[in-house]
Amino acid sequence: MQDIDVSARVVGALYQAFRNSDEPKRPALRPFTITVSRESGAQGKLAAAEIGRLLGWPVYDREIMEKIAERLGRPASHVEGVDERPVGWFEECLTGLLAGQRVAPGTYLRHLVGVIRGLGLIGHCVIVGRGANCVLPPATTLRVRLVAPPADRVRVVAARHGLSADDAAKWVARTDRQRLDFVRDHFHKDAAAADQYDLVLNSARLSVPECARTAVDVLRVLEARAAGEHAAAPALAGAAR
How many residues are present in the chain? 241
Helices (H) and strands (E) in the chain, counts: 10, 5
- 166 pLDDT band, cuts 50/70/90, is very high
The pLDDT score that the predictor gives to residue 20 is 54
Partners of 36 in beta bridges? 128, 144
Output the pLDDT for position 74. Answer: 84
What residue spans define the domains of the chain? 30-234
Flag the least confident range among 59-68, 80-89, 126-135, 194-203.
80-89
Whether the pLDDT of residue 75 is over 90: the answer is no
Q: Is the pLDDT of residue 35 over 90?
A: yes
Q: What is the pTM assigned to this prediction? A: 0.81
Residue type, 207: S
Q: What is the 3-state secondary structure (H, E, C) of 26-68?
A: CCCCCCCEEEEEECCCCCHHHHHHHHHHHHCCCEECHHHHHHH
* CATH code for the structural domain at 30-234: 3.40.50.300
83 Cβ neighbours under 8 A, 6+ residues apart: 65, 108, 130
